[in-house]
Amino acid sequence: MSAILSQRFEEAVIFSLHLHADQKRKGSGIPYAAHLLAVTSLVIEDGGDEDLAIAAMLHDAVEDQGGLETLSKIRRIFGDRVAVIVDGCSDSYSIPKTPWRQRKERYLEHLLTANSDVLRVSLADKLHNSRSILSDLRGHGEKTWASFNGGKEGSLWYYRKLVDIFSNSDLSSPMVYEFASTVDAIKKLS
């Protein structure tokens, strides 16, 4: 199955690019839009429909750009299913955010009962993040971990837990294997 992308998807891309216009990726200075587009591409390539593609494009909007007010806008503009997926991919609604470890533990617990839509978008997000970490480790070594709130140990713990959750879910996706392989490569380099 391949996604049919309509003007609604184009509106989501524009909405997301406006929200994240000034945001950069940790440690690299790369415009955040690159991450959003990569996650969206992974979801589409994995057979996601238009709602999943839109949710992938907006997956960090609530967490990083306006909390529950932004979630309400997403629900109004793009519908309940997209809003539920975006909400399910968010680990925080406020700034300042709660402590990193607490947020991540709560998010991991949430993923254990999340539906397949949330799992697919979350997996695409984590796969792209892990690819970026692996690339940074290869290029910059251990100093890569300095830009992560969880540091090396916390980040490795978090990614190992994510591998367990995605591997034991009912989600049938080649991204599960690629994510596990990427996290293994990160562990070997660390």
Any catalytic annotation for residue 50? no
Among residues 49, 50, 64, 184, the one annotated as catalytic is 64
Any catalytic annotation for residue 10? no
Nearest-angstrom CA–CA distance, 29 and 176: 28
Nearest-angstrom CA–CA distance, 139 and 7: 39
Cβ contact 57:48 at 8 Å: no
Among residues 46, 60, 63, 125, the one annotated as catalytic is 63
Cβ contact 32:11 at 8 Å: no
Active-site positions read: 63-64
